[in-house]
Amino acid sequence: MKTFYVTGIDTEIGKTVVTGKIAAYLNRIGHKTTTMKPIQTGCVGIAEDILTHRSIMGIKPDKFDKDHITNPVVFRFPASPHLAAELEDRTIDFELIKTSLKTLQNEFDCVLVEGAGGIYVPLTRDYTSLDFVKENNFPVIIVSSPRLGSINHTMLTIEILKNRNIEIAALIYNMFPPEKNEITKDSINMIKYLAKKLGFDFPFFINPYSEKLTDKVDFEGLI
């Protein structure tokens, strides 16, 4: 059994699409895989990111989705989890998240845990996504992109994970939004170069731009 935490260098970076595509790939090569969104804001019912994962994976929501095991905490207000919880006068139930994750780990070969926003997003006033990842000893998959500023944001994410002694399992360079070829090539090369200077040699994958979210992508070497 393997569990990965998927984080982005920013919000709206493509974590949900990439998570769905990794899950589809792992299922395709024989690893029974599901996804989890521990905390979703900005919706009601089954977490919208889970529904997107299932659509990309080409399957319907299963009993774990319908029973909110894959999406145990959902808030209506589209904001950082700490604020969304406060606005509903609720406390995030981390024990429920832990129990739900354990259930999935017992049922699947691989669980992809999609975080909310970037790695330093506050889940409470005193507890961040970074704390959550460290506490659970998750290897992290970073989702980057060609957008301007991505070198800086990517390297800051890599640096903080290094400082916390958190394993980086892979980096996915998500080609959305499309950018000038010169920028894309250079930022890919710079991120690889700077990561190597920090002592990293993790797998580096590119998720090509496509309007069809169900296009297959090969993540060979991730597991």
For the stretch 34-46, pLDDT in tens is: 999 999 999 999 9
Structural domains of the chain, with CATH = 2-207 (3.40.50.300)
Instruction: Say what the pTM is.
Output: 0.97
Name the percent of the chain lying above pLDDT 70. Answer: 100
> Any residues with CB less than 8 A from the CB of 148 and at least 6 apart, and which?
179, 183
| C-alpha separations of 18 from 113, 127, 185 in Å | 12, 26, 20
Strands 33-36 and 110-118: parallel
- Count of H helices and E strands in the chain? 8, 10
3-state secondary structure at position 46: coil
**Helix (H), strand (E) at residue 39:** strand 39-41
* Average pLDDT of span 69-87: 98
At 192, list the tokens. 């690889």
For residue 35, the cross-strand partners are 112
For the stretch 10-23, pLDDT in tens is: 988 999 999 999 99
Cβ atoms of 93 and 72 within 8 Å: the answer is: yes
For the stretch 126-139, pLDDT in tens is: 999 999 999 999 99
192 is catalytic: no
Q: Which of 21, 37, 63, 185 is catalytic?
A: 37
For the stretch 156-189, pLDDT in tens is: 999 999 999 999 999 999 998 777 888 899 999 9
> Any residues with CB less than 8 A from the CB of 201 and at least 6 apart, and which?
none
